[in-house]
Structure 1
């Protein structure tokens, strides 16, 4: 077993690019952190880890596909074998697979085309999105909970990377600056998966409350990544609040859904 008794061990899923990649970089500013850069593709994960930390002393790649139970278990076994514990889990892996369907619908509306919906395709999109965004986060959390139990950090922390678009409160509040944007009937699969993730956040915050763990959800905002086809703000800005939640102390909040500006309504 590798000795890192003086370091906080943090795992970030889906971290070989985008927001997760920037979270890894953001955590480098915090002393005595050892960062496990999670990626479902081992080659891409190794490349990303080397880009961030050529020495390999602080950032270490780890292969984990949150849709594959065997992959999750291998990652758990690897962390257990090397470190015997986990101090922080950032559930960052996520997908939005509706872009093609969304833009086709927009174009059809412009052209006045009444297209029969492809229900089988829609079902597949729902299944795949929920498999990653909801089930993947839940199963990963459950799998790593025994190692978080052994955390030497105070407190253990779990961060779920959610979205403003999953907020029911922002969706219905007509006085909100977000209302016009979020009231449009678009991206129901992605949005509802993030609403479900918010419920998971509350579930685990309650489940681990007696242990003093800090369990929160972060809203990164629209971010310029492959995920959003380059639309949005820099990923480094979207990572700021995630890094903050991943480094909370004993007086930090738990069971909260927020961005860098403050609390976001559920």
Structure 2
């Protein structure tokens, strides 16, 4: 008896960590990946790069901050596949302005726009696609967060203050916990993870690890078996040599 193909959608997957996650998922048996990006040419270029490796993915434009864009994607996914099984909420921003060095200088407009992309956009795309998971009582939702948003270590860690980024990811962590609570008892598993400091546009060239390494935990959480982790916060797997849940 054949197993139905799983449909995986990765937001912001034309480059960096999102691209690495999409690539790893597409290399698994029986997973059809949908790569997304705001600009069509960026996504098509990523699709072509993967095709050159013999990895076939689908593509659709997606602006996670735009209601109509999210609805268009949802309608397309429903009409094309009739389901979405895996959602990786990777798209995000980390402002780097000098004002981000202090809560006394951070621009509230920047804080608001960061929260909009890192939290509200995740709520938007999750609200849109969750009914497709509920129809089949199967789903894996992976929210890309950061250890910089751990309340347990927030007051003592060595990371930059970065208030817009940190506070937005705290919001994302809260969203993860609340959604997992609401979905308790179903086969729709929601978790967050920190990919660590990687060589990406956001992480810069001085980062010690690659996007491929940062994608390992996303793959693990996106393919959890039934009764797997629910509402947990994971570290990057390379740090401990396996999947380890962190304290929120």
Q: What is the TM-score of this pair, normalised by structure 1? A: 0.84
Paired residue for 1:253, among 229, 232, 245? 229
User: In the alignment, does 2:10 pair up with 1:28?
Assistant: no
Q: Which blocks of at least 5 consecutive residues in structure 2 are unaligned?
A: none
The one-character-per-residue Cα deviations of 1:105-132 (angstroms, maximum 9, x if unpaired) are 59xxxxxxxxx94x7xx02101110110
User: CA 1:57–1:188 in 2, change beyond 3 Å: closer, same or farther?
Assistant: closer
Distance of 2:85 and 2:245 partners within structure 1:
24
Structure 2 distance, partners of 1:128, 1:235, is 25
Other-structure match for 2:143? 160
In the alignment, what sits opposite 2:39?
Answer: 41
Distance in structure 2 (CA, Å) of the matches to 1:219 and 1:24 = 17
CA RMSD of aligned residues (A): 2.2
Q: Structure 1 residue aligned with 2:15, among 8, 14, 17?
A: 17
Distance apart, 1:210 and its partner CA: 2.7
Gaps of 5+ in 1: 107-115, 173-178
Query: In the alignment, which of 89, 96, 101 is matched to residue 98 of structure 2?
Result: 101
How many pairs align?
239
- The correspondence for 1:241, drawn from 184, 195, 217, is 217
> Displacement of 1:40 after TM fit?
1.1
Greater Cα radius of gyration, structure 1 or 2? 1
**Is 1:263 paired with 2:215?**
no
Q: In the alignment, is residue 220 of structure 1 matched against residue 189 of structure 2? A: no
C-alpha displacement of 1:156: 1.2
Cα shift readout 1:194-236 (whole Å, capped 9, x = no counterpart)? 1110000001111111322111001101111111233422111
Aligned counterparts, 1:32-71, within 5 A: 32-54=30-52, 58-71=56-69
List structure 1 runs of 4+ shifted beyond 6 angstroms.
Answer: none
* 1:131-168 CA-partner distances (Å, limit 9, x unpaired): 100000011100111111234xx741111000010101
* The structure with more helix, counted as a fraction of residues: 1
What is the SS of the residue equivalent to 1:65? coil
Deviation at 1:6, TM superposition (A): 2.8
Q: Which residue of 2 aligns with 1:110?
A: none
Q: How far apart, in 1, do the equivalents of 2:49 and 2:246 lie? A: 34
Residue range with higher mean Cα deviation, 255-264 or 156-165: 255-264
How far off its partner does 1:102 sit? Answer: 4.9
The offset of 1:9, in angstroms, is 0.2
CA drift at 1:37: 0.6
> How far apart in 2 are the matches of 1:145 and 1:155?
10
The answer (yes or no) to whether the contact 1:84–1:150 under 8 Å persists in 2 is no
Aligned partner of residue 93 in structure 1, secondary structure:
coil
